Amino acid sequence: MMEKGSRLESVGERYNSRCIELRRIRIILNKEALPCFPCAGLLGTATSIRLKFQLASADYPSMQSSQNHEDLGVSQKLYYQPMPGPGPPIACRQIIRFQTTAFHLMAAVSPPQQDSQSCHSEPHHSPDNIHGSPISVSCITSDVDDLRYKLRELETVMLGPNSDIMDSLDSTIQNENSPSSSETEWWKQKREVIPRGDLKQLLIACGKAVSDGDSLTTGWLMGELRKMVSVSGDPIQRLGAYMLEGLVAKLALTGSSIYKALRCKEPLSSELLSYMHILYEVCPYFKFGYMSANGAIAEALKGEDRVHIIDFQIAQGTQWITLIQALAARRGGPPHIRITGIDDSTSAYARDGGLYIVGQRLRRLAESLKVPFEFHAGPMFACEVKLENLEIRPGEALAVNFALMLHHMPDESVSTDNHRDRLLRLVKSLSPKVVTLVEQESNTNTAAFFPRFLETLSYYTAVFESIDVSLPRDHKERINVEQHCLAREVVNIIACEGAERVERHEVLGKWRSRFRMAGFTQHPLSSVVNTTIKNLLEEYSDEYRLEERDGALYLGWRSRALVATCAWR
C-alpha cells in the first residue's frame, strides 16, 4: 500500500508538466461537477457541503442485478468536506482505498475555468424532498470497466506503457469481489429499517453510524432521512430535520458557525413579540423556573430593607417583573431593590439593544409601583465575572440567581480554569441569603457522542411535542421559534465538541454535587411555591407533570422531566 501510495503521489507531481496530455483525456470529475447542497438551508444558514462520491467496484449482493437510479445511488459512499472557494487548477488527486468488499476510487481534477462543466442537479420539490435540497446525481460513470480503462489510459500517458499499478489493483479487486455472509446480513438489516417508516429508529441508526465512523451507512441513512423529515411536520419530523442538520454539520465541522448564526432575533417591528417571548408564552418552562426562583427569593428576603439581586443571565429581565410587583405589595412597604444584571454583549439580539434597555424597563416599572430601585449593568460573559464587578455593599441582603445559564459555563472537562465551579465558589464567598438554580434536566455535558445524541433525541422530542399542543403547525412564527430558539441548541449539542460545545446540560444530581463541593446547603422550596406552580399549570395542557422530590421541583412533559429548580444557602 505504501508503494502504491508513493507512486500515486508521483502522478500528481507530474501533472503540471504533462498538462496538455492530461487535458485530452478529461476524465471523471471536475471541481464544478461535484453535487452540493446547503447543509443548513432549512435553518437559514447556507453552509455548503461537498459530497464526493466513491464508486464501488462491487455492489452488495442485493444490488448486483439492480439497474435503477435509486439502487445505484445506495452503493455510492458519501464524503463530507467544507467546500473551498474557487481557486486555480490543481493537480490530479487519486485516492485509492482497499476495503473488505469494494475497491473505491475517486479522482478529482480542476481544469481551467472556461472548460468546466456543471453537473449540479435541480432541486426536487416533492413530498419526499420537502427541503428543496437537490437530490444528488453522480457525474461519474457507473461502468467500472470503463473507469479502469480511463485510468489505464491516464497512467500510460503520464507514466509510460510499462506501468503496472492498474495490474496490481485489478488482481486485488478480483480477490476482494466476493461479499461475505456477514455483509449480506448487514445489507439485509439496513434495508429492513426503511419499510417500517420508523423515523426515530432511523435517526438512532444514523447517529450510531456517525459515532462508529461508518460513512457508507451514514450517507445512505442521511439520504433516507431527508425524505422523511420536515420542519412543518409532526414533532418527530421537525426535530428530525434539525438533528439531521446537526449530523451533517458535525461531519462538515460547521456546527459552531451554525450555532452562532441561529440567534433568537427580535423582529424589526415593535408590534411583534420576540421569538423567545412567544416560546415563553406557549410553554410553561420559563415561567415555572422564574416563579419558583422568585418564590424562594421572596421567602429568603422577608423583612429585609435593602435587597441586592445578582442575575447571571438577565436576558430581557422578564423574571423580575413579578418579584418587584410582589415586593411592592409587601406589608410594611417595599424594600430598596438593587439588581445587577450580567449578560454578555452578544446577547443584545434578545433585547434589541444593550443592558441599559433592561434597566430602563425595570426602573419604569418600579417607579410606577413606588419601589426604590437601582440597576447595575454587567455586560460581560459570566465566566469573566470577578468580585469587583458585582459591587457588593454592606447592609444589603444578597440573592443570586442562576436561571438556565450555568450549563453554558465550561467545566473541568473543557478547561483547567473550570469556570463552572469557580463561579459557584465566588458566589459562596459572598455569603448570600439564597441562591436559586433553574436548569434543564438533561445529561449532555460529558457524555460521549452517541449517548449524547440519544439524550438529545429524548429530551427535545418531549419539548417539540409540548409545543405542538400550544402552537398550531400553521402558525406563521412557529418555525421561526423552533429554528432560532431550539434548533441552535440541538445543532450545538450534536455537532460541536470541546470549547465550541456550549450547551452542556447536567441533571440535578450532578448540580447538587457541585453546589455541595462549593460549600452550599440545599434549602427546600416552600409549599407556597408548589401551590403557585400548580395554579400556573392549570392554564396549560394536562400532559405537563409537576413533581416535588428531595426539596426540588421538576416540571416535565408526560413521563420526561425537562426543567428542575431548587434553592441553596
Instruction: Give me the pLDDT at residue 213, please.
Output: 94
From the list 410, 380, 224, 365, the residue with the least C-alpha distance to 314 is: 380
Residue 53 has pLDDT above 50, yes or no: no
User: In the chain, what percentage of residues exceed pLDDT 70?
Assistant: 61
From the list 96, 104, 80, 81, the residue with the least C-alpha distance to 12 is: 96
Tell me the residue length of the chain.
569
Q: What are phi and psi of 10, to 5 degrees?
A: -65, -25
pLDDT digits (tens, 9 = 90+) for 131-156: 333 333 333 344 545 555 555 555 45
Q: Mean of the pLDDT values across residues 393-411?
A: 96
Residue 431: how many CA atoms within 13 Å on its side-chain side?
A: 6
Do 44 and 483 touch, CB atoms closer than 8 A?
yes
Instruction: Give me the pLDDT at residue 276, please.
Output: 82
Q: Mean of the pLDDT values across residues 47-53?
A: 32
- Rounded CA-CA distance 111/88 in Å is 8
Residue 238 has pLDDT above 70, yes or no: yes
The alpha helices in 316-437, defined as continuous H runs, are: 319-328, 355-368, 419-428
- Rounded CA-CA distance 421/346 in Å is 23
Q: Cell numbers for 346, please give them.
A: 452578544
- Rounded CA-CA distance 560/308 in Å is 35
Q: Give the pairing type, strands 103-108 and 93-98.
A: antiparallel
Q: Cell numbers for 409, please give them.
A: 459555563
487 Ramachandran zone, left/alpha/beta (phi>0; psi -120 to 50):
alpha
Instruction: Give me the pLDDT at residue 150, please.
Output: 53
Strands (E), 289-387: 306-311, 336-342, 373-378
Instruction: Give me the pLDDT at residue 472, please.
Output: 85
Q: Is 297 exposed, middle or buried (0-12, 13-18, 19+ CB in 10 A)?
A: buried
Instruction: Give me the pLDDT at residue 273, please.
Output: 54
Q: Cell numbers for 44, please give them.
A: 437559514
Residue 509 has pLDDT above 90, yes or no: yes
Q: What are phi and psi of 194, to 5 degrees?
A: -65, -50
Residue type, 404: L
Q: Does the model's pTM come out above 0.75?
A: no
Regarding predicted confidence, which is higher, 264 or 104? 264
Which domains, and CATH codes, for the chain? 193-265+445-495 (no CATH), 283-441+505-568 (3.40.50.150)
Regarding predicted confidence, which is higher, 257 or 398? 398
- Rounded CA-CA distance 190/201 in Å is 11
Q: Mean of the pLDDT values across residues 320-338?
A: 95
Do 63 and 75 touch, CB atoms closer than 8 A?
yes
Q: Mean of the pLDDT values across residues 352-374?
A: 91
Model confidence at 93, pLDDT cuts 50, 70, 90, reads very low
Instruction: Give me the pLDDT at residue 33, please.
Output: 33
Q: Cell numbers for 451, please give them.
A: 449517548
Instruction: Give me the pLDDT at residue 27, please.
Output: 34
Q: Cell numbers for 520, please give them.
A: 452550599
**Per-range mean pLDDT, top range of 325-334, 449-458, 486-495:** 449-458
